[in-house]
Amino acid sequence: MENKDEQTESKKVALYIRVSTEEQVERYGPDLQKEDLVSLIKSKGRLDNGKDKWVLAGENYVYMEDGISGTMDLDERPAFSKLKEDVLLAPEGNKPFDVVAVYKIDRFARKLKILLNVIDFFEEHKIEFISANESIDTSTPFGKAMLNIIGVIAELERETITQRTQDGRMQAIKKGVVMGSYATFGFQKGLDKLLKISKKESATVKYIFDLCVNKKAGPYQISQILMDEKYLSPEASAIVNKKKKGAMKKKTSSYFWRSEVIRKILQDEVYIGNIYYNKAKRGVRRPREEWTLADVKAPAIIDRLTFNKAQKVLQSIKHERKQGKSGHTYLLSGLLRCDSCYEGEDKGRIYWIGERKKVKKSGNFSYYYKCGRKNKSKHDKICTTLPLPGKEIEDYIINFCRKIIEDPIATYNHQSKLKSSKSALSHLEKKQAQIIGLINSLPGKKLRTREMREAGHISLEEVNKSFAEFAESDKKLRIELDDIGRQISENIISKGYEDTLNLFSEKYSQGIEGIFKDRNETYTLLHELIEEVIVYSRPVKTSEKIAGIQKKDRQIPFRLHIKLKLPQDILRNLTNRFGVEISHLSG
């Protein structure tokens, strides 16, 4: 750099001005920055020959960044790119300016790495850098040292602000505050920014779960039903119900539902009151077990049992194969499950699938069911249970269902109880909402207790006592909430039975034999009535002769456990009449 004492010509100064947000427009507006920088130039005084030591290089060298973040890379900034271009394209020995002046270091860069890259570029082209606010001048060794120190402090401040923002956001999420632009489908944002049930949208959510649980409809089928029946999509509903401003982003029908959206709704625990956060890290979704449950509860739209049944249906759909390539309808597809291949409470039992094989002698096909864990390419442990002949097992289940349909007495008795259960359900739902309100008030009570301690109004001993009482209250309330949830589930189940019972009385009580002659009608009936059929097996005895190649450790099916979608009173009657093992669908 040229020594100041030897300076004979005015140094030309370029200005770099950056404005990022509306707040900064008010505090560090472009006019304010330029005014201060021009004053700085004038304050440098005159040379011995009467010339100004510093002069503005010209208005075309005032570089203005509007709406640009200080963390953005330099080459992505339009104005700075123009600054570099002016320097790099200037004729050799004829720099467009000698100095670049900024109002404040963080106007130029909020990351130390970016700031150092700037200085390296300026030094390479013998251009000085000065900051008006921090009085930094890189033409001096002290100025360079101060620049590095302030750069470190500026970056630390930025990271501290970012961390505080993240911490504040996390605390808000823990308290159930809605952070998005609008609430999840089925809810609305209250004045306190907490989730409140949306009457219209929650009715759609309940309908989606009803279609899944009681009709065994998958996400794609449900999406088609909602579109046919003109149900507003989540985004369209948010706009219509004034949860969201503006128009729809995608140019699709207001009634268009994607199957992925349906699946997400069916799997979201917010509908049973659970609010989770910490679900992703840097845009990457975390495993389910790493999510954190919030301290507060959302008002439940769906009861826990219905939600759990929906998860089972979603799982069963993956294994359900109603028809094979030949067009044959497998009546028990998605119903049969192998007890020998139990994978724990989360995954349950492996599904059996329908298959066929050609009989060499006749050339015809025989149909059978086998455990899905027979494929060596998909499973490391292969099921040794022998397959079940298709016709025999289907006939057994069909005859069983025929007897159920022909017994109207228990059905009538159960329907008479439905009216009283509906009034009980309303009372339980009100009590549930009140308890959720008490649980959600506890974080606020804890915060006020801490504030009173910090203000010196209460002692540490009193704080500890209050927190112990809060913990005990939370425990009692959650136990009561779970109990109410169980009672609501039982009432919801009763309401679900109404559809099944009406279906029997209106459709299946007439022309039963005709229905069983149509395999598609039979398939619908079996899946309406049966939740699942568990196949139990035992080792093959040495005295038993089994066709085919003799293998070790083979198991033979010997017992069925039929789980029905029917109330307990009907089940008891059936058990007494038939003497077979049947159970309630939640058993």
Distance CA 245, CA 523 (A): 46
Residue 377, burial from CB neighbour count under 10 angstroms (0-12, 13-18, 19+): exposed
Asked if 581 contacts 558 with a C-beta cutoff of 8 angstroms, the reply is no
Predicted pLDDT of residue 421: 58
- Kind and range of the H or E run holding 573: helix 568-578
Predicted pLDDT of residue 227: 92
Structure tokens belonging to residue 353: 């699938």
Half-sphere exposure at residue 514, Cβ-oriented, CA atoms within 13 angstroms? 5
Predicted pLDDT of residue 151: 56
118: nearest Cα among 129, 107, 103: 129
Predicted pLDDT of residue 567: 55
The SS3 assignment for 293 reads: strand
Backbone angles phi and psi of 504, in degrees to 5: -65, -50
Asked if 264 contacts 185 with a C-beta cutoff of 8 angstroms, the reply is no
Asked if 65 contacts 15 with a C-beta cutoff of 8 angstroms, the reply is no
Question: What's the CA dihedral at 463, 464, 467, 472 to 10 degrees?
Answer: -140
Q: What is the pTM of this model?
A: 0.49
| Strands 365-371 vs 388-389: parallel, antiparallel or unpaired | antiparallel
Question: What's the CA dihedral at 321, 323, 329, 333 to 10 degrees?
Answer: 0
Predicted pLDDT of residue 146: 62
Structure tokens belonging to residue 180: 């998005």
Distance CA 558, CA 537 (A): 5
Predicted pLDDT of residue 142: 59
Buried b (16+ CB within 10 A) or exposed e, 523-557: bbbbbbbbbbbbbebeebeeeeeeeeeeeeeebeb
Q: Over its length of 587 residues, how does the chain's per-residue pLDDT go in tens digits? A: 445 456 788 999 999 988 765 544 455 678 888 888 999 888 888 888 888 999 999 999 999 887 766 567 667 778 888 898 899 888 888 889 999 998 887 666 666 667 777 877 888 888 988 888 876 666 666 566 666 665 565 566 666 666 665 665 556 555 556 555 678 899 988 776 778 889 899 999 999 998 888 777 889 889 999 999 999 999 889 888 888 776 766 667 888 998 899 999 999 999 998 888 777 776 777 887 888 888 788 888 998 888 988 888 887 776 555 555 667 888 888 889 898 887 766 567 888 888 888 888 888 888 999 988 877 666 677 888 888 898 899 988 888 777 766 654 444 454 445 455 556 677 788 888 888 888 888 888 888 888 888 888 889 998 899 899 988 988 888 888 888 877 776 665 555 555 555 555 555 555 556 666 778 778 877 877 788 889 998 888 776 666 555 566 788 888 888 887 765 545 554 455 444 454 443 32
